[in-house]
Structure 1
Amino acid sequence: MFRKLPGDEARNLVSTTPDTAVVFRPAVVRTPAFVTIVIWLSRLVAGLVRLVWRHPIAVAVPVVPGVIWTLYGWRLALVLVGLVLLAGLSWASLHWFSFLRLVGWRLLAFWRRVWIYRRHWQPVMIISGLGRHLRGRDYLPRLMRVECDGWADRLTVKMLNGQAVKDWADRTDQLAHGFGSRTCRVSIARAGRLVLTFPRRDPLAVPLSAVPIPDVVSVGPVEIGAREDSTPYRLKVHGTHVLIAGATGAGKGSFLWSTIRGLLPAMRAGLVELWALDPKLMELSLGRDLFTWYAADPEQCADLLDDAVTVMQERAGRFAGLLRSHTPTTADPFVLVLVDEVAFLTAYQSDRTLKQRITAALATLTTQGRAVGVGVMAALQDPRKEVMNIRNLFPDKIALRLDESEQVDMVLGDGARDRGALADHISPVPELGAGVGYVRLETSPDPVRVRAAYVSDDDIRAMVAQYAQAVDTVPITDQTTAPSPMPITTRVPVIGEVAP
């Protein structure tokens, strides 16, 4: 009734030795040679078509001279090669970037695909555990595409069925060393496909000088430095809150002062107010004349944050039912609250009452402020939860050099380090690592490596000399329409200073 299959023969095997393993060999089906040849030829043709489609320039370089040599002789082929080389050199000398984009990077991508990635693909995948070798057959993720630019290689990879992104993120060290790169970063292209980024060099190894003050009045995004691909990095400050975490000397001041520098034209136009909290009296005090409000004493800092909450609540009452987002005007400018060493105010403050006031005010501003044009940019050294228990209220986070690998995920969120945010590996040498950090924005889970420009003391003094008068000339608003507790032209006195 039922047909007996080859595998059923194992039931009839009887062994007198209990420990003897039953060996089962499935039936072998012999494929005709004609079918094997057809399959091999079809794969060869498909591979050639795919090669020509993906790498037309790399294929044309050897094929075209070879065909001309065969048909017309080596002299004509040699002349053609010389003309092509001369045209290429002329193109490269006249417009280097277009030559690289259309020819240079494609040839480099073909070479690295063949010599680096395809040659080592099988051993790296098997040894790292991303591939499997079962019954004499390799099951490997598929290398779809290799793209090159001035600083990195990007590999598009099709994962095996059943693999997850975390399987690749947990093996970035193996992938980086297997293919001879410094690091490896994993990002999602689409369902089932990943993009692996292997840097070839570090464009951020050299410190950046201060970005020129922009000519256009704008509240952001503010250009403060450069990305790893050498494009300008612009930080969004209006409509969000930014948390900057880094060890001592990591370059937090570069982010603060570069942001201030980019907002100076908008401040002069009356569209931005900078409120500064500087509890350690070192970072922001040199340019305190630029700020609409400045506080250093912890009690003054608490009062200043309470004033910011008052402005926020007053605006919310006026905007309710009329607006859902804030547009900076001279009547309702964008207020950016800068807090240096926020942990001193929220965790290390000995006065419990002040600590609670400051924490409550910061929590209120970070949960309700951005819709009405009140933003917070805070910097701290220790990102632990007991030090900064409201760090998750900051949508955009920046991790500079950190002391421990666990702190990376504390700042940027779970899985950020596995995706390539190696903030604990940033060099402690100021010339190499100051201002270098990883940014994780609210709209993207993938960290971006950037470096903020260094704003020197001379740059700050020049900023004060040029823009300090703008603060003094802002007209005093009517107290019946703006709930400011004192005129906006009045600075909060610093410690040891007599109030005017």
Structure 2
Amino acid sequence: MFKRLPGDEARNLVTTTPDTAVVFRPAVVQTPAILTLIIFTWRVLTGCVRLVWRHPVATLITITPGALTLACGWRTALLLLTPVPTGLLAWAITDRQSFTRLVALRLLAWWRLTWIYRRHWQPVMIVSGLGRHLWGRDYLPRLGKVTCTAWADLVTVRMLKGQSLKDWADRLDHLAQGFGAASCRVTLTKGGHLMLTFPRTDPLAVPLAALPLPETPTVGPVEVGKQEDGRPWLLKVHGTHVLVAGATGAGKGSVIWSTIRGLLPAVRAGLVEIWALDPKLMELSFGRALFGDRYAATPEDCADLLEQAVTVMQKRAARFAGLQRSHTPTVEDPFVLVVVDEVAFLTAYQADRQLKQRISAALATLTTQGRAVGIGVMAALQDPRKEVMNIRNLFPDKIALRLDESEQVDMVLGDGARQRGALADHISPVPELGAGVGFVRLEASPDPIRVRAAYVCDTDIRDMAATFAAGKDAA
């Protein structure tokens, strides 16, 4: 019926049948059955070895009863296995922490791997666009190990060739909803591999009371709250500058006062000086006795105090030149922390143009040159836009508390922070749930960390001021 046409004659073919497409039937290669069986057996064996290697406890608990039943009979197996749950129960009662770490969390990881992630992996990957279905075959990212902590599932994934971290960061909502989690965060572990974090509970849902005063003087890092993984949140203030951004009622005062509280023993020892700028006359005025004559409220006084800090910085730089490149706090040269509450009032909303220029120039000088000589700046603001705070990039460490808009997250923490899971615009506006909760992005790491600052109430501040004033008088 058809004959082979030489050369380019095939392009001149004309059909008289409408809507008829030329169909090319691909050649079918028959795979030998023995090769198919070998590949299938190899995959089963490697899957079993991988399962035993990753989940030894769960595998042992599952296989042991069946093996004993086949080897000894069900009566003997029951007799031998009866002490096991009794011993596990006694272990859980006497040392719950080690039982949870060595047994319970491993069993939970095995269960969630098989029932949650592996069971839903293919549809979630295809629907979210992270997998591809081509020529009847699914190309999926490789699901790796699942590790359970007390609050989250950590899932390791090997990406498809050609994928990037941004491909996954753009689909965090799809992943969270697909696996039944409230949120999802992604972290690049090494080339081609990443880790997905799916929280099961919120360890930061309960407000934290003011932390006890440190027993020994410390310049930092200062403990100001708790991280999402349960570890203390240690905020570095010496050798860096910190920007705290958040909407009204987000808990900026908790971060500021927890930092001041942690530095008080060093202040008493003469290793730290805290200079306070309080243009709102609301936040820092409660502890005015802590600052002495290093307190300013009016714009004029704030400008004078900042320029005085610049003078101290320049004198130190002249003395340190050629002798040392980093600062060590001493009584002669203490670490100076300049705390500025609502910095936008001084840099953007100030009507006096001359004062605005003086303040902006002093802040820019301190944030560019102050770290090496022991002068740090902690500034708080509500609106992180560039026209409000044009030197926000001069702060190496940034804290984003509850924000009003999603675009503000990247303004504070840097490009891509929200895509990595820093959902500061989703923090609850209810004070009991969201005050003091935020995300930290440090200079040394691009990955945001979810934290909550301890709440220092008015009574705590007055007690701090009274105790510190009494300590100075006694000294």
Question: TM-score by structure 2 length?
Answer: 0.96
Give 2:104's aligned amino acid.
G
Tell me the distance in 2 between the aligned counterparts of 1:110 and 1:249: 41
Taking the aligned partners of 1:391 and 1:468, their CA distance within structure 2 comes to: 34
Which amino acid is 1:47 matched to? G
Contact 1:290 1:471 survives alignment (8 Å): no
Correspondence for 1:352 = 353
Query: Aligned residue for 2:228?
Result: 228
User: How far does the alpha carbon of each residue in 1:307-326 deviate from its partner, in whole angstroms, 9 at most, with x for none?
Assistant: 00000011011111111110
SS in 2 for 1:463: helix
After superposition, the Cα gap between the structure-2 partners of 1:310 and 1:77, relative to the gap in structure 1 and judged at 3 Å, is same
**Pairwise CA distance, 1:449:** 0.5
Query: The residue matched to 1:331 in structure 2 has which SS?
Result: coil
Which residue is equivalent to 1:410? 411
What residue ranges of structure 1 are gaps of 5+ in the alignment?
Answer: 1-7, 475-500
SS of 1:273's partner is strand
Write the distance in 2 (CA, Å) between the matches of 1:13 and 1:473: 105
Q: Structure 1 residue 98: deviation in Å?
A: 1.1
Distance in 2 (alpha carbons) for counterparts of 1:120 and 1:175 = 10
| Structure 1 residue aligned with 2:280 | 280
Deviations 1:27-57 (A, max 9, x none): 1100111111111111111111111111111
Give 1:24-39 correspondences, 5 Å limit.
Answer: 24-39=24-39
Q: Which residue of 2 aligns with 1:481?
A: none
**How do 1:213-252 residues align onto structure 2 when only pairs under 5 Å count?**
213-252=213-252
Match of 2:444 in 1: 443
Aligned to 2:148: 148
Match of 1:41 in 2: 41
Residues in 1 aligned to 2:418 and 2:130: alpha-carbon distance in whole angstroms? 19
In the superposition, the TM-score normalised over structure 1's length comes to: 0.91
Structure 2: how far apart are the matches of 1:423 and 1:465?
36
TM-superposition CA deviations, 1:369-420 (whole Å, max 9, x none): 0110000000000000000000000000000011100000000001100110
Decide whether the 8 Å contact of 1:291 with 1:471 is kept in 2.
Answer: no
Matches within 5 A, 1:320-339: 320-339=321-340
Are residues 1:375 and 2:372 paired?
no
- Alpha-carbon distance in 2 for matches of 1:276, 1:194: 43
Give how far 1:461 is off: 1.0
User: What is the distance in 2 between the residues matched to 1:283 and 1:178?
Assistant: 43
Residue deviations 1:183-228 (CA, integer Å, cap 9, x gap): 1001011000010000001011111000110102110100010011
Per the TM alignment, residue 99 of structure 1 is displaced from its structure 2 partner at its CA by 1.1
Report what 2:290 is aligned to.
290
SS in 1 for 2:63: helix
The structural deviation recorded for 1:20 is: 3.9
2:264 counterpart residue number: 264
In structure 2, C-alpha distance between the alignment counterparts of 1:410 and 1:288, rounded to whole Å? 32
User: Over residues 225-250 of structure 1, what are the superposed CA-to-partner deviations in whole Å (9 max), with x where a residue is unaligned?
Assistant: 00111211110000000000000000
Q: What SS is found at the alignment partner of 1:404?
A: coil
Alignment identity in percent?
A: 72
In the alignment, the residues of structure 2 paired with residue 464 and residue 80 of structure 1 have an alpha-carbon distance, to the nearest angstrom, of: 66
Distance 1:142 1:336 in 2: 48
Q: Distance in 1 between matches of 2:80 and 2:379?
A: 63
Aligned CA RMSD, in angstroms, stands at 1.6
Secondary structure at the counterpart of residue 82 of structure 2? helix
Q: Match for residue 340 of structure 1? A: 341
Residue in structure 2 matched with residue 429 of structure 1 by the alignment: 430
Equivalent pair of 1:267/1:470 in contact (CA under 8 Å): no
Q: Secondary structure at the match of 1:461?
A: helix
The Cα of 1:343 is off from its aligned counterpart by 0.2
**Structure 2 residue matching 1:385: 3-state secondary structure:** coil
Contact 1:69 1:76 in 2 (8 A): yes
Aligned with 2:311: secondary structure? helix
Matched with 2:164 is 164
* Counterpart-to-counterpart distance in 2, 1:182 and 1:99: 27
Take 2:150 and 2:10, find their aligned partners in 1: how far apart are those partners?
64
The residue that corresponds to 1:115 in the other structure is: 115
The aligned counterpart of 1:133 is 133
Query: 1:468 matched to which residue of 2?
Result: 469
Query: CA, structure 1 residues 289+234, in 2 after alignment: closer, same or farther (shift >3 Å)?
Result: same
1:10 and 1:24 in contact (8 A); partners too? no
Whichever residue aligns with residue 265 of structure 1, its letter is P
CA distance in 2, matches of 1:21, 1:350: 74
SS of residue matched to 2:283: coil
The C-alpha deviation readout for 1:293-351, integer Å capped at 9, x for no partner, is 10001000000000000000110111111111100000000000000000000000000
Q: Which residue of 2 aligns with 1:397?
A: 398
Amino acid at match of 1:366: T
